[in-house]
Amino acid sequence: MVRLSLPARRDPHWETDGPAARREHRRHWAVSMAAFLAAVTALGAAAFAWTVELGLAAAAGIHARILFG
């Protein structure tokens, strides 16, 4: 049956899976969140580098230069 409401927030078998499964779930969530934050940080750094390269950062009052490249 197709549900049109929001998905369930918890697995109904969460308590029967045991502590090892819960620990693995938490570890997987933490690694996924760290990877997501690293990707967002890399995108931000790349965007900032492009503003420096194109001269838009200097126009905004940010005086920086790329040390390599």
Domain ranges of the chain: 43-69
pLDDT of residue 3: 57
pLDDT, tens digit (0-9, with 9 covering 90-100), for 1-56 = 555 666 666 777 777 778 888 899 899 999 999 999 999 999 999 998 888 888 77
pLDDT of residue 34: 96
Rg (Cα) of the chain, in Å, rounded? 22
User: How many angstroms separate the CA atoms of 43 and 64, rounded?
Assistant: 18
Whether residue 66 contacts residue 53, with contact meaning beta carbons closer than 8 Å, is answered with yes
- Regarding pTM above 0.75, the answer is no
Whether residue 57 contacts residue 51, with contact meaning beta carbons closer than 8 Å, is answered with yes
- Give 62 or 32, the one with higher predicted confidence: 32
As given in the structure block, the two tokens for residue 49 are 């580098």
Q: What are phi and psi of 5, to 5 degrees?
A: -95, 180
